[in-house]
Structure 1
Amino acid sequence: MSEIQVWTLVFVGLSFSLYIYIAYASRVSSTADFWVAGGGIPAPVNGAAIAADWMSAASFISMAGIIAIAYNGYAGSVFLMGWTGGYVLLALLLAPYLRKFGKYTLPEFVGDRYSESARLVAVLSVVVISFVYVAGQMGGVGLVFTRFLGVNTTVGVLIGMAIVFFYAVLGGMKGITWTQAAQYTVLIVAYLVPAVAVSTRVTGMPLPQIGFGEILADLDGLQRDLGFEAFTEAFTDPAYGMQNMLLITAALMFGTAGLPHVIVRFYTAKSVRSARYSAVWAIVFIGLLYLTAPAVASFTKLDILDTMNNTQAGSLPSWFDTWADVDLITGPDGAPLEDLNGDGMFNYTGDAVNEVVINNDILVLASPEIGGLPAPIVGLVAAGALAAALSTASGLLLVISSSVANDVYYKRVNPGATEKQQLTVGRITMACAILVAGYLGINPPGFVGEVVALAFGLAAASFFPILVLGIFWKKATAMGAAAGMISGLVFTLAYMIWTLEIYFGSDGIAGIPATGIGTVGMLVNFAVTIIVSQFTPKPSEKMQALVEEIRYPGRTTLVEEHLEGEWDDEPAE
């Protein structure tokens, strides 16, 4: 066993033991604790949990690689702008009002605000979005185990499934929240330590957010010399021109504001005021990683270019051979590596003689080795990547579980169910969801960041419009909301299947990629909801009054009635 594997086992073993202990200490027996942690999580802890839940494997593993390799610099900023901007949008525009409305799940808000039929459409949307999202997380788990512990992807995903099953099923939202706060600590330390070390080594500046600015001119020049477009130049790839950058950024932004597993986090806060402070803490915690990702991308890309184009094919560094052994560095179109032009090197260039394809998901995981850092740092990064993937996976699985158990079983099938029965159904649903998530992790429809971006597009097209209209337009109707959700979701999902290479691989409409179509789907949803609402029965006067009141501070009589379960104004079917 190599030194890297030993240190990976040490850090992964310690972190997993911590997660299991927290889950056992936080085990629950009530639905309030299982679904929303009893609504009693302190704001800083909740902020850390929100950050860990939201910063998935895509943020930790894939984002820097997307910036450096897949999108070659400038175009990768769509992920930075979309994901961070969307969180601000969620925190200011939706979260406080949803918290004041006071329901356990997003479908429960839809059911109370609109109708029971709309609730079922919302449940379907939650399940589709969450399973697409969780596929990326479990794929990230498999990637880490494959590289650092020498097991195949299937075994790695199974191990991740077992850990998530234990702490999610035992502790529900309460266990998940406290576990995610610990996972945030692990992932942010694992991300920042190598970034600080490499920045200090290369520039003498320990703050990578500042240090990487000193190398951008060198990186631009080196890329041009090797046939790539400059790292900082805008709109160099025809596939990601101004139109598609706008569409992808908007899909990620509005999708962030409509993600079910992030929205439910604000129900775990003690109050509306605490929900606002949780959002502030989360933005701070998220910013630590997102402001560092461009630096990690830049430093690692520079190291890769220096290494690949100044080293003979037979004497490449160990990190190159290790990642090539697990087929994450290959020749063009996945072929074995080969010195095609006979110059004695594996050329990594932007022109016709390129002989190397680097999977962008390896960039962060390989960055400590590429930067020459010691084995303990490599093991720490592996543990951080697993923390990022598992934290989001657990949140997604809980959302699926709560939507089925609370919004289908309790609300529709068995309204007289006891808390014990609800918890049993919720845990069984979660177990089934984990099995499906495992399958998707073993057979993902794309690389980690791409799969996650698809989930954001689906969330933008299904939930964002009916949440905004449900809060700010009191005359949005039940039939309008249901029609809008169905139209946006079906249109967006169909377009994704039509254009993804793993399915039909079409060029699509006007060159719009699958990752950007969510913006168009959102506009379809808005249009359908507004038009249908003009010709269908309006909400009751009481509901319209409640919608007005949740937008203002304080707890009025109507809000109190709603929160205390004394609401006698049944929504339409």
Structure 2
Amino acid sequence: METTTLTAFGGYLLILFAIAFLAWRRTLGISDYVLGGRTLGPGVTALSAGASDMSGWLLLGLPGAIYLTGLGEAWIVVGLLLGAWANWRLVAGPLRRASAAADDALTLPELLSRVLTRGGDRQTLRVLRMTATGLILFFFTFYVAAGLVAGARLFETTLGLDYHTALFVGAAIIVAYTVAGGFLAVSWTDFFQGSLMLLALAAVPILLMFGAAGPIEPPSGHLDPFTDLTLVALLSLLAWGLGYFGQPHILARFMAIGDPEQLTRARHIGMSWMFVTTIAAVAIGIGGSAVFTPSLDEPETVFIALTQLLFHPLVAGVVLAAILAAVMSTIDSQLLVASTCLAEDVYKTWIRPAASSTELVKVGRFAVLTIAGVALWLALNPDSRVLTLVSHAWAGLGASFGPVLLLALHWPRLTAMGALAGMLTGGITVVIWSELSGGWFELYELLPAFLFAGAVAVAVSLTRGGEEA
């Protein structure tokens, strides 16, 4: 690697650890460690939510898919933009107010167990909380493992490290600042990383537009969004937006904003960031299809290839940092949410109900190490099924929590038993549907699972609610 590129990357890491040190000094109790003491401003709330959501898919997967197949893949962007906007409108404000009103609930399982008291005895509420915790831990462990694999492969190709060295280096960096600074470190670094992602993504299409790589003439059919697009494929791509309602690492940002009245401003910032970055990623894919003929061996490297073609090595180092930032900003958020569930929803609920705030912070930090260790073990073999398993995690979380959370915030008749039945229906449907094939079974599993989960939650609440009222 060029010395200038390595220098840029080293500067990026120094900024991360400086942020972690500042956050560590401000982390005094479990509320600070888990939700930053609910002190986030609208800008940090918006960009940290966006950065933790998009991961490396925004800079690698999306441009690669557009590069390979054309604008037909861009329907997923439409679905995600609509889903994110609806999440800000329907969930952000009610969730922030409900979590504060529910005895300052710090986690999604804790919130559900405190809000859904209608028609639910103490044992049902405890089972609800543990089921929600189990789903989060299961899906997030594979999410983190997949992120570590992606980060290690990126280190491997760009820094020239062998896979296992790259894996341990990447994991050590992420775990260090997550353990030290908790939610504040994760949110502040995600804000910084989101800004870096925006700059890196916007720069490439601008240069292409001004002819830096010559005339842009994409292959025939690449600019037609309906090429080879079936109804099942269109619905599947649009359905991705439903996943936003059930992603705990994104929802945590809504719970952590200091002033709920600032959520409108945060929404404007967040949606603007998302619109610009996703459209830029699509433009990079289209531009790459015109520039690189014959095609690249690895379509997902189209963004990296364009930056190496267009920029000085120092700037290329910044872009490399942006790609790593995209991967790391999702891993750190998921690690923190999963570790918080262990500390709050397992340790405090079942083992030591009288645990002090300081003790819970220590447990949370130990939980980060534990979950990271399990994820690291899963990631040791880069050819394992971890990446195929995690491809269903977005659907699993979206279908398990999305319908239940929407009903909990907007339908007062939802019961604890209805929520439990809905969560299990969503998760189980995702697993079963993903194993079926042919015809309508080719539909992305999130859509049927989301609909089934919502219907079951309502039906059980109406039936059991009437019996127990």
TM-score (norm 1): 0.74
In the TM superposition, 1:410-425 aligns within 5 A as: 410-425=348-363
Give the 3 Å change call, closer, same or farther, for CA 66–436 of structure 1 in structure 2: farther
- C-alpha contact (below 8 Å) 2:50/2:274 kept by paired residues: yes
Deviation at 1:440, TM superposition (A): 4.2
Paired residues, what number?
453
Give the 3 Å change call, closer, same or farther, for CA 528–39 of structure 1 in structure 2: same
> Which position in structure 2 is the counterpart of 1:91?
88
Deviation at 1:285, TM superposition (A): 1.9
- Asked whether 1:74 is paired with 2:12, we answer no
> Which position in structure 2 is the counterpart of 1:106?
108
Deviation at 1:374, TM superposition (A): 2.9
Which has the larger Rg? 1
- Asked whether 1:241 is paired with 2:169, we answer no
Match of 2:250 among 232, 245, 262: 262
> Which position in structure 2 is the counterpart of 1:58?
57
> Which position in structure 1 is the counterpart of 2:122?
none
Give the 3 Å change call, closer, same or farther, for CA 474–463 of structure 1 in structure 2: same
The CA distance in 1 between the partners of 2:385 and 2:265, in whole Å, is: 36
> Which position in structure 2 is the counterpart of 1:565?
none
Give the 3 Å change call, closer, same or farther, for CA 513–169 of structure 1 in structure 2: farther
Match of 2:425 among 467, 487, 492: 487
The CA distance in 2 between the partners of 1:367 and 1:456, in whole Å, is: 29
> Which position in structure 1 is the counterpart of 2:185?
175
- C-alpha contact (below 8 Å) 2:245/2:406 kept by paired residues: no
Give the 3 Å change call, closer, same or farther, for CA 274–452 of structure 1 in structure 2: farther
The CA distance in 2 between the partners of 1:459 and 1:175, in whole Å, is: 24
Deviation at 1:63, TM superposition (A): 1.1
In the TM superposition, 1:141-220 aligns within 5 A as: 141-202=151-212, 215=216, 218-220=217-219
Deviation at 1:17, TM superposition (A): 0.8
Give the 3 Å change call, closer, same or farther, for CA 53–106 of structure 1 in structure 2: same
Query: Any idea what SS the aligned residue of 2:58 has?
Result: helix
Q: What is the percentage of aligned positions where both structures have the same residue?
A: 24
Deviation at 1:219, TM superposition (A): 1.6
The CA distance in 1 between the partners of 2:391 and 2:5, in whole Å, is: 29
In the TM superposition, 1:385-400 aligns within 5 A as: 385-400=323-338
Query: Any idea what SS the aligned residue of 1:437 has?
Result: helix
- Asked whether 1:138 is paired with 2:154, we answer no
Give the 3 Å change call, closer, same or farther, for CA 534–246 of structure 1 in structure 2: same
> Which position in structure 2 is the counterpart of 1:525?
453
The CA distance in 1 between the partners of 2:367 and 2:438, in whole Å, is: 38
Residue 425 of structure 2 aligns with an amino acid whose one-letter code is: S
TM-score (norm 2): 0.90
> Which position in structure 2 is the counterpart of 1:502?
none
Gaps (5+ residues) in structure 1?
Answer: 205-213, 222-229, 309-347, 349-356, 500-507, 542-573
- C-alpha contact (below 8 Å) 1:194/1:377 kept by paired residues: no
The CA distance in 2 between the partners of 1:446 and 1:303, in whole Å, is: 34
> Which position in structure 2 is the counterpart of 1:365?
304
> Which position in structure 1 is the counterpart of 2:262?
274
1:288-336 deviation per Cα after TM superposition (whole angstroms, max 9, x unaligned): 211211110111111112xx2xxxxxxxxxxxxxxxxxxxxxxxxxxxx
Query: Any idea what SS the aligned residue of 2:439 has?
Result: coil
Give the 3 Å change call, closer, same or farther, for CA 445–271 of structure 1 in structure 2: farther
Gaps (5+ residues) in structure 2?
Answer: 100-104, 117-124
Greater mean alpha carbon deviation, residues 259-268 or residues 429-438: 429-438
In the TM superposition, 1:474-553 aligns within 5 A as: 474-496=412-434, 498=435, 508-510=437-439, 512-513=441-442, 516-537=444-465
- C-alpha contact (below 8 Å) 1:51/1:184 kept by paired residues: yes
Query: Any idea what SS the aligned residue of 1:417 has?
Result: coil
More RCO (CA 8 Å, sep 6+): 2
Residue 271 of structure 2 aligns with an amino acid whose one-letter code is: I
The CA distance in 1 between the partners of 2:150 and 2:134, in whole Å, is: 25
Query: Any idea what SS the aligned residue of 1:291 has?
Result: helix
The CA distance in 2 between the partners of 1:447 and 1:123, in whole Å, is: 20
Greater mean alpha carbon deviation, residues 531-540 or residues 372-381: 531-540
> Which position in structure 1 is the counterpart of 2:292?
304
- C-alpha contact (below 8 Å) 1:43/1:278 kept by paired residues: yes
Query: Any idea what SS the aligned residue of 1:55 has?
Result: helix
The CA distance in 1 between the partners of 2:179 and 2:73, in whole Å, is: 36
